[in-house]
Amino acid sequence: MKGFRFTQFVPTQDPEKNSFENLLNIFLQLVTMTGGDVAEALSWLTNLDNRYGMTDPNYGIGDFIEDLKSKGYLTEENQKGEFKITGKAEQTIRKSALEEIFGKLKRGKSGQHKTTHSGQGEERGTDRRAYEFGDNLDQIALTDSLRNAQANHGFGGDYLLTEDDLEVVENEFRSQTSTVLMIDISHSMILYGEDRITPAKKVAMALAELIKTRYPKDTLDIIVFGNDAWQIEIKDLPYLQVGPYHTNTVAGLELAMDLLRRRKNPNKQIFMITDGKPTCLKVGIKYYKNAFGIDSKILSETLKLAAQCRKLKIPVTTFMIASDPYLKEFVKEFTKVNNGNAYYSSLKGLGDLIFEDYRRNRTKRF
């Protein structure tokens, strides 16, 4: 008797390839943590290898460095002759962040996000309705219309199809959303033995890659705020570092509002990742600072901008990665004035919260 015997399939592996891919993943994580300092990242990688034996005599860290250069992840072509990551490495870091944080998502078609409105939209939906004068012919649901004709007029004699038999498919509107992501880079983001800036960077990179690949018609601007606020490019995210700064939330909100004014999209929103209260304000050319509790002068200016955002229909979603009671009171008051949203998140759940809020905001008009 003929038959088949099945056994477990064990694919042949290329040890050198697997070693490179495994080391690459760790290296890119370290580059993100060191703010793009390749030398420091390689030093950490070497120490990890000495401790955990990640390489073998056939493939060492030196071989890995040569592969990084030959595969286009590293370059020495600069004035100082230092190792620098390339654009290819920056994109790989963003993709890695996307997979890590939003790994459950399946990549969809380029474009847009649904709203609750229907009509003369851009994409065919699932709802049906009777034909009305002015509907496009390509909206007619042919199968449903033919079935209606048979039910209404029978099968005998000449086939009859009238206007009353026609059904059309509702098209769904697609909206475009402009988002500004504010990242706190004050000194507290690395205090108390907790690295808060690296998860914030990963979330920003994941969100940027998600928008570029899945919602290319949306816009994302990223700003950082410490004593001042300034805009950074997506490619600059791996190099982002915390500075010896206070927290000037007012400057961040002012810049965010200015960027959104230039956007023509009707839907606009601000996401703010922070771990503390506002402690700084620029008055003229001087800085007004007070890190001891919540300063009424700084709070007043911050709430004033929250109200302006509400008037302009720009909701602010605050992701507070700290849980001090007096910080919660500040966020609660800020959110109430803006009519936005607030989350008190651990670093682990930050990415999921931001994605869910981003997706939820797409389904409504602000």
Give the tens place of pLDDT for each residue, 282-303: 999 999 999 888 899 999 999 9
Residues of the chain above pLDDT 90, percent: 38
Q: State the pLDDT confidence band at 17, using cuts at 50, 70 and 90.
A: low
Question: DSSP assignment, residue 175?
Answer: E
CA distance 303 to 188: 22
Question: DSSP assignment, residue 102?
Answer: S
Which of 17-31, 147-161, 300-314, 342-356 has the weakest average pLDDT?
342-356
Give the Å distances, CA to CA, from 306 to 252, 318, 335, 366. 12, 11, 8, 15
Nearest to 76 by CA among 43, 38, 45: 38
Place of tokens 């955002």: 309
Are 128 and 144 within 8 A, CB to CB?
A: yes
CA distance 128 to 247: 53
Give the tens place of pLDDT for each residue, 188-216: 888 766 788 888 888 889 888 888 887 88
Q: For the residues of 132-164, what is the DSSP string, one character each?
A: -TT--GGGB-HHHHHHHHHHHH-SSSS----GG
* For residues 332-360, average pLDDT: 79
Are 263 and 178 within 8 A, CB to CB?
A: yes
Give the tens place of pLDDT for each residue, 219-252: 999 999 999 999 999 999 999 999 999 999 999 9
SS3 of 239-281: the string is HCCCCCCCCCHHHHHHHHHHHHHCCCCCEEEEEEEECCCCCEE
Give the tens place of pLDDT for each residue, 69-118: 999 999 887 767 788 999 999 989 988 887 776 664 443 333 333 333 33
Task: Please give the pLDDT value at position 114.
Answer: 39
